[in-house]
Structure 1
Amino acid sequence: MMARWIRLGAIEAFDFRAAYSAFAAAQSSRARPILLWGQGDGEYLFALIAPKRIAPGRETRWVSWALAPAIATYRQFGLPAYLDGESICLHGQKVASATIASIGECAVVASAFLRRFPAKCIPTPSAEMEEAFRLRLEAQHGWQFDHSWPSEHEALKYAVA
């Protein structure tokens, strides 16, 4: 299945929430999955937006379905990440929370990656993190991403939000 990868660039967390909400509201039940990617202050923000027909049937399963590739990405970089409820944890400490929402026809799970890994104390370039995460998402869900831009309809909803 083809999916869309949309980069929003530098964005504040509040604006990122508004963006993924607007994008999700603009999707039909037949839309392709979307991964929104943004660079926040000290973190890489992401939101997986998928029609509910693709997501697990129960909302309680959405977080593990959506965040398993993020956990695998951390592990690829040598960090023992794990999922604890709706949080991504490293070395017993929460490093990111997830937001789960049902918006229109879509399941939405948003979270973030650290820009600086605590074990290594070096920033991870966005391109490396983004590529690793994209590959993990493709492997986990069987999707193939193309880089995409908002459609006219999505851009209008996003601008209004």
Structure 2
Amino acid sequence: MPTFRHQGSPFALHDSMKRVGRVLCNIPLLARGLPPMSFIGINRGNYLSGLISFYEFADASLLAETLVDAYEMSAPSYVAAVATQRRPRSVELRERTRIQNLVAQLMGEHVAPHEAEEPIREHFADLSEGDREILVASITEVLSKVTPENSAAWGIDADAAQQYRDAIGSAPSFGLARK
């Protein structure tokens, strides 16, 4: 592999090649009108093991399975983001797994959006006040808008979303998130 020295680093070209490769893998998806692949939630261990298995043994099965799993997880989120024309903030991307886990927990415990602020603040007590404010607004908005039809975007199955809606006794709200 050729190396490129930039600012003293022999890895600059290698790192760029990874990014280009990830972008290129989206061309067939986008050409067919499908959401792009996101590597944010990919199981890193399986991904690296799959790459090694592919390069060393010409076996793409683990890599393919890992990519499909990541795509199935990320595609609904992309569709929901595009549908709402909302760009996620960096804290929402960094804390995606914790957000999904907390949303599932709050829905399972039938915590209504207007009752969720304190549990959200406690769950993210390790973050700055500004980040907690963003997450309070974001998660209460999810809780107020989740339906069986859009629940996959937050990693919730349709039945759980319907049970949540029934338990809190309110229809989804599509207004602005509470401040």
Q: TM-score range by the shorter chain?
A: under 0.3
Task: With the length of structure 1 as denominator, give the TM-score of the two structures.
Answer: 0.26
The structure whose Rg is larger is: 2
- Higher RCO (C-alpha under 8 Å, 6+ residues apart): 1
